[in-house]
Amino acid sequence: GLKALIFDVDGTLAETERDGHRIAFNQAFADAGLAWHWDVETYGRLLAVTGGKERMLHYWQGLDAEAASGPQARALVAELHRLKTTHYVRLVAEGGIQLRPGVARLLQQAREAGLRLAIATTTTPDNVEALLHATLGSSGMAMFECIGAGDAVPRKKPDPGIYAWVLERMRLAPSQCLAFEDSTNGWKAADAAGLRTVVTTGAYTARDMFPGALAQLDGLGDADHPAQGR
Ligand code: XBP
Ligand code: MG
């Protein structure tokens, strides 16, 4: 039977990309004196590359392949990413990002039903902690038995590695779990790990198709915000 739910973070628990990560990347570029700026549309294209460091390196390679493959490139990207993470964590801690409708309710009800909860994400662990703390309070982190994030595995989504890492830690078979994702890269990762997946599409993925998903929804419903948007 079903034992656990495994959640992606960015795009699934919350709409973090356009008004969160994107803003933080641009602030880091400004801090570093770079003339780089990612507008909403550009960032949507860049989301094809998962992981912030990988995304910046990919962008830089498009601008100047030689410089981006030079000996200092990885160190500069790592420094930019540290700056970016600081900005993102602050933005989230200040309440700049909310959970998507229905997420808090699903987490609560799953816990009440005895299901185990986990996270499988490409984002940095500090970002996950900041989001869970800001949106679910001081007990938010403890709701999740296992948090697989960032560089815990060498290859990011669509590679199934982060899901395999979580399954191994929880000593569960894919058939005992259900994954929640929002994007093509995320769904591919879960699918390749053998998981059934519910896809809740969002701002950047509403036009994508997920023919192999268990279900493709535009969200989890808004029963925890009954009076809003009606
Ligand atoms: C999310 C990502 C992340 C964030 C940035 O993909 O690709 O890299 O955009 O976070 P998914 P970092 O939802 O499929 O896990 O800068 O911390 O990498
Ligand atoms: Mg996602």
Catalytic residue list contains 19: no
Domain spans of the chain? 4-15+99-217, 17-93
| Integer Cα distance of 77 and 83 in angstroms | 10
Ligand 1 pocket test, candidate residues 7, 10, 157, most atoms within 8 A of CB: 10
State yes or no: pLDDT of 225 exceeds 60: no
The verdict on the CB of residue 197 being under 6 Å from ligand 1 is no
Encoded tokens for 222: 């808004």
Rounded CA separation 192/46 (Å): 22
Q: ipTM score here? A: 0.94
DSSP-derived letter for residue 51 is: S
Interior angle at CA 151, CA 45 and CA 20, nearest 5: 45
Q: Which two tokens mark 202? A: 């969002």
> What tokens were used for 69?
């493959």
Report DSSP state, residue 70: S
pLDDT digits (tens, 9 = 90+) for 150-180: 999 999 999 999 999 999 999 999 999 999 9
Ligand 1 within 6 A of 127 CB? yes
Q: How confident is the model at residue 226 (pLDDT cuts 50, 70, 90)?
A: low
- Class of 4-15+99-217 in CATH: alpha beta
CATH code matching the domain that covers 17-93, chosen among 1.10.150.240, 3.40.50.300, 1.10.10.60, 2.102.10.10: 1.10.150.240
Give yes or no for residue 188 CB within 6 A of ligand 1: no
Q: What is the pTM of this model?
A: 0.95
pLDDT digit string, tens, across residues 10-68: 999 999 999 999 999 999 999 999 999 999 999 999 999 999 999 999 999 999 999 99
d(CA 158, CA 155): 8
8 is catalytic: yes
